[in-house]
Amino acid sequence: MENNTNSNIEKAIELIGITKTFGNVVANKNINLDVYKGEILSILGENGSGKTTAMNVLSGIYAPDEGKIIVNGNEVLIKSPKDSLKLGIGMVHQHFKLVDVFTAVENVVLGFSKDDTSTLSHKNSRKFSLKEAAKEITLMCKKYGFELDPYKKVYNMSVSEKQTLEIVKTLFRGVDVLILDEPTAVLTPQEIKKLFDVVRNMKKDGKSIIIITHKLNEVMEISDRVAIFRKGEHVATVETKKTNEKQLADMMVGEKINLEIKRSEPNNPQDRLFVNNIFVKNNDGQMAIKGVSFTARSGEILGIAGISGSGQKELLEAIQGLRPYETGEVTFQNPKENKPVTFYHKTLKRVKFLASMNQFHYKDGTPVSFKGMKDKEIKELVNEGKVLFNKDEIVDLKGLNPKEIRGLGIRLSFVPEDRLGMGLVGNMSIIDNMMLRSYRHGKGGFVDRDRPKKLTKRIIKELDVSTPSAETQVSKLSGGNIQKVLVGREIALIPKVFMAAYPVRGLDINSSYLIYKLLDKQKQQGIAVIYVGEDLDVLIDLCDRILVLCDGHVTGIVDARHTTKDEIGLLMTKHEEVQ
């Protein structure tokens, strides 16, 4: 693909004036896009920019409202994925469509009929044998450099194997144009390298590959040309060689943006949260976390890296008190040294008990003893703030639910990965969602809507949430705005520990960088931040330390300032021998 401008290069696909609307939302507006034969074309755009919609139109999932599709010079009407496969266009979706209990080869031949164009040698016969198909698959794998066992069941496969299978499934149907939707989102750096090798081999074989992505570095690495989408429109197509990441990012967002993540120095780090050798089960009753220990410090961001499904979710939920753990413990060190004792979260009895254990002192340093004092006098002393803690309070969080943890005065904020499934209620208004954390503060069993209303207004303003009103249902907002609502609410708790699982998943660049900034701000304010991320570049740039999880084990805790992507990538796939 030395000269794309050369007119003798054949066009495999032309999209002319494609428009697709969903209600009032214009997903694609007058898209004109050419795909050449034998090229790797990246489609770059933020979430919601219409890249997947355009490709879904091409693969027959959506019918366009307007416009034409031309394949190999002929205008075609694609009404279903079957039509598009017949035209040699195949798509691998972000969410795999495989039957778990089937083997690879069974999945490949599923839905295959004798009329389909295929590479099967006996396509004219009414039957086909799995054996033949398996042979075909093995040949194909050799040709392009895949690794796939045709008789392996899907439920035994890793994410990367499943993806390979999806690609093989499509190639098996004899496609010339392969569309990959966010193929690298779930892979480790090593797996991405492998995938890119395969893609290059397919290109050599004369196939066109379209990769939908929003990762700039991958675009630069793999593609010949880049088509940039913004707000449903195709902004430009540029040759990769003639551009750079900065320029692409600016085109993608439509304004100048700063791609730098500012990392402040740790703010007086002190041990805050101890996780000691915990074992946690997942929803299926399997061990997801197998003996994890670490310490989170205040004023520091602890990153958690790992292939998705390595136990990140279970770990955070266990700390939050959402998931039981039988062995191990989680303890919280409440920074109380030299701070006054209060009755907010302690009873008089408890205060008296702690005093008898010599836990308190007066401002002048003399130890507190309530011996011989009346309750009223003790209350007065405490309420006047004259009684101080000797040292930090150590609180065992084991077996407590989130309500009980808060009852002890320990504020753990948590931004879970499934925002609408946990953390927010989709069909409630923004105000009602703000109230989730504070509704118990109302008087006489009633809720107080005034404070959440004020908080909502503040968050909408400060985090620039775009919403018609504060009464709008949260599920009607875009992903980025939903996340802003959730993160804003959790920050407003003024927590001691702030945990976020994949907080930028599905967010556009600007929102993502806003979230990074907010996380760093929390750290500067002395909060212990735990950030579970998937983009290793971001983890390395944002965090202070990175804990790597692999299959429920900690395979390493590295200093983010002195590590590389490769080192983390290796740790992510390192399977420790369990003794």
Partner 1 sequence: MKKDRERIIRISRRTNLKWWQKILIKAIFVLVAFLMCGVISSLVSPGSFFDFYEYMFNGTFYNTKIFVNLLWQAGLLFVIAIALTPAFKMKFWNIGAEGQCLMGGLGALIGLKFIAPFVPNIIALCIEFLLAAIFACSWAVIPAIFKAYFNTNETLFTLMMNYIAMGIVAACVVAWSTSGSSVLGVVNNVNHEGWLPFVESFGNSYIFNILIIIGASIVIFLYLGFSQHGYELQVVGGSRNTAKYLGINVKSVIIRTMLLSGLICSVAGFLMVVGASHSINETLVNGRGFTAILVSWLGEFNVPTMAIYSFLVSFVSIGSSNAAAWIGYSSTVSNVLTGLFFLLIISSTFFVNFRVHIKLPKRKKNEETAISSKEGA
Choose, by CB under 8 A, the member of 61, 159, 257, 428 that binds partner 1: 428
Q: Is residue 206 near partner 1 by the rule CB under 8 A?
A: no
The residue among 168 and 415 lying less far from partner 1, judged by its C-beta, is 415
Q: Is residue 404 near partner 1 by the rule CB under 8 A?
A: yes
The residue among 238 and 422 lying less far from partner 1, judged by its C-beta, is 422
Q: Which helix (H) or strand (E) holds 17?
A: strand 11-22
Q: Is residue 417 near partner 1 by the rule CB under 8 A?
A: no
Q: How many CB atoms lie within 10 A of CB 127?
A: 7
The residue among 23 and 372 lying less far from partner 1, judged by its C-beta, is 23
Q: Is residue 320 near partner 1 by the rule CB under 8 A?
A: yes
Applying CB under 8 A, which part among 20-28, 50-58, 190-198, 498-506 lies near partner 1?
20-28
x/- track of binding to partner 1 for residues 277-316 (CB under 8 A) = ----------------------------------------
Phi (first) and psi of residue 323, to 5 degrees: -135, 130
Residue list 28-67, contact with partner 1 (CB under 8 A): 63
Applying CB under 8 A, which part among 92-100, 356-364, 436-444, 548-556 lies near partner 1?
436-444
Q: Which helix (H) or strand (E) holds 281?
A: strand 271-281
Q: Is residue 402 near partner 1 by the rule CB under 8 A?
A: yes
Choose, by CB under 8 A, the member of 80, 125, 264, 427 that binds partner 1: 427
Q: Report yes or no: 417 and 483 within 8 Å, Cβ to Cβ.
A: no
Applying CB under 8 A, which part among 144-152, 213-221, 257-265, 445-453 lies near partner 1?
445-453
Measured N-to-C along each axis, helices 450-462 and 479-492 cross at an angle, to the nearest 10 degrees, of 120
User: Angle 378-380-381 (CA atoms, 0-180°, nearest 5)?
Assistant: 65
Q: How many residues bind partner 1 (CB under 8 A)?
A: 38
Quote the CA–CA distance of 169 and 218 in Å, as a whole number: 24
Please give the DSSP secondary-structure letter assigned to residue 337: B
Q: Is residue 466 near partner 1 by the rule CB under 8 A?
A: no
Q: Is residue 321 near partner 1 by the rule CB under 8 A?
A: yes
The residue among 79 and 262 lying less far from partner 1, judged by its C-beta, is 79
The residue among 305 and 412 lying less far from partner 1, judged by its C-beta, is 412
157-162 CB contacts, 8 Å cutoff, 24+ apart: 157/104, 159/186, 159/187, 159/307, 159/308, 159/309, 160/186, 160/187, 160/188, 160/191, 160/194, 160/195, 162/96, 162/98
Choose, by CB under 8 A, the member of 220, 439, 534, 541 that binds partner 1: 439
Applying CB under 8 A, which part among 11-19, 83-91, 229-237, 424-432 lies near partner 1?
424-432
- Distances in Å between the Cα of 285 and the Cα atoms of 76, 288, 292, 314, 399 are 50, 9, 18, 11, 18
For residue 23, the SS3 value is coil
The residues near 91 (Cβ < 8 Å, ≥ 6 apart) are: 55, 56, 58, 59, 81, 84, 170, 178, 179, 180, 181
Q: Which residues bind partner 1 (CB under 8 A)?
A: 22-24, 63, 77, 79, 320-322, 401-406, 414, 416, 418, 420-428, 432, 435-437, 439-440, 442, 445-447, 468
